[in-house]
Structure 1
């Protein structure tokens, strides 16, 4: 079938020899990468220990929340999540204090971060005596095994060496069982961490449910398992078969009442809600969704829309207004020379006639204006039909938006103190509820939907699990002085970062459109736009001028729907 000649074989041998050298180079680069990762982790641990010692001394021995400032600063400096920063700091401390052999192998480049972290996690509950007995064998195994296999090997070594500690470790781990859901692109990942026996029992139930259809069902095995999992959550006893055969033996088993309609909260701009445009929508708890899915959810579920308006970011922050207010210089700029006409392409028209002129575009943000009432499925305007990709320049991403804000902050340092440093939102008189410490349900819902998650850099704790923080502190002695309980002075913070701000370790300022500027004691300045709204381009010709006056979103109505989230 194939004919090999001497020249081809010699060429193949030469290619293999060359690639062998490149594989050696790849291994060397991996060792260098591992060594640098070890130095990074150890430095994070050293900074954590330094902050911990300093905080304990200042607080008279109270260790609660001590060292948290270092974790927050690591997250900001490295641009990673709070969870990853905590992992770096915890591993760095453990390598310095408990795992000398692991530390040496990591620094030498023999171990990568994944294996070092696995050793740290699996041995966290061991006594110093047991750890000293096992660490050499653990490191030798780490040099030969992948992280998952290494974890199993470590657990087996612990059971053999100290069964009592293994049982205690298991009990501690069982107390950390949890269920969570997180977005994975356009899909969602539903994760349940269970005990060993619960996990096996749950898997058997899902497999049994998937087997309630006949063999002619059109779905693949994985899709069947997903449908079976959802059916179990709805309390159903069987799956409907999709074979579409009249003599299917499984049809009768699948007759059951319809499923309960979910309550979803969709963030959508007014134009999209009216069917005039097809901008992305935002599903609370998940993230951006396409207009087709938003339309389907609105037709098939009980939903509540959060109405937004597109504003130009530069105008909202006052940058454009400052440029427009500059006095005239009294001289007209010299007109630019007209370009030479393009050579005739043979059809009597210039080469650029087919390219329409696109105006320059700037980053924009959606600003929340009102919260809609609950609506049943249906009754939503159809979105306009579109064909092909969007014309014009691509949408503006969050990176460009943050860069624009950063340049504005560099040009005007006063801007970093916030647009309304008194915390009154530019209002002359306080609206209803502004002088109360706890926000009403409507205000809280607006803030949580706008933010989407904790507003500290790198933190992704969902807004529903966050506390509402007054950016400018609320004055309990004189509420009228400032720090009002209004949308423009509230933000979502998780317990960890709320405590950090309350202790004065970081400072936050609210700019226009809900943008927050964070400044640490180490001089780090970070910008976080709202996580529950979209960043888009806005044409300068369509930029609205929003006067600094009282508006409905600063004075929300009181809703008695019984859905007040925890404060």
Structure 2
């Protein structure tokens, strides 16, 4: 067992910690927590949510400390002896895990995972441990960091710990820790920068763990899970999406059902989707799905990102370059408001790829939808009647939003603008139930091209902020033709009762059903 390193940042609970610039410690019942200096200007709802998350994180940090204490009490100091002098071969890890299971009602797997994370954070990641004990990050983030760095050699860990903690730590602009998806990519990129040779070696040997498993989940459904290489996964998903797109406009199935049907078609060698019963191709004469797969790679400062996945090692990059046709494009100059393309509504492929590579994910706070599955939103709405009067189709004026969050913005519930440094600020819109001007959340782009996120046009940020504050970026009338979630749940239960009635009484007529409410059509994005 290696000697534990002493965290360089004091524990927030010991009264000696110094808050980072832009933050203060707020005394709350139980423990002090880090809050931004802007905290006092927030509304009570945002304050409560922020404090709740910090308290949860700090409580989870205590469970990590407890797990490490259990391991020490179990005698994890090397081989020992039993009372009769024989070597004691009991694994202290198992003894500690049993103590955790008894005290916290955890499964064996969960207890073992908690101990592993406690060991990694205490002995190999002391700076990250300080962020955990301060309530800045939570247990899920700690598990992610520990598991991603577990196979890195000890000699690289001090530099890696410092790099990860520095990119995680709160700043004036970083008022919230990164989401799990961007966090995993950030840690992977830090590993590639700290130990590129070791990362490539680990990627090469990791292929031995590939597998496909089937897990029953109830209601006559199963979950298929596949662990494959990054490029293989991207190729399979691209083919499934291509098959899903062969569905007709009158196909009643959801996108999830269409992807499941696409997986079945792929397994049977079909070039079009099966019918809703899953037996035969729905239309033998349908246009075959595209079989050629296009993978987008972004390269910057020695690291390479695979679109839809994240950073990959040199081992994976070399394999791709050996088997693929390559084309290199410069995506950096895409913000000319005076160009003819800026006056067209639909962005070019190059512009789309740049924005996806810049944002990384949907840019609404907390959303982890991959940028490759988002809409490109005109932050200032595009004026179809007079294109010169509205938002322009440039990288400055486009932000990636998943369809759900795009609707929130279009309906004026939340609005946003791009800051001079390329980050996004979100505030309550004119149709929000609580249009509190004190709520302002900053989101950093997390894609491999995030270093190019700053607007090229110096007037962009002021123009977008002015439009947002005047209600011009998201002021469409609030309309919910889709039923509310509570109503959808009630309708689902009612339908299941009707189905059960039909199974028990097949000779009776199906109970009368009210007409299904019309689902909301997407705005004309």
- Do they fold alike, i.e. is TM over 0.5? no
Q: Which TM-score applies when normalising by structure 2?
A: 0.40
| Greater Cα radius of gyration, structure 1 or 2 | 1
Q: Which protein, 1 or 2, shows the higher relative CO under an 8 Å CA cutoff with sep ≥ 6?
A: 1
Q: Which TM-score applies when normalising by structure 1?
A: 0.37
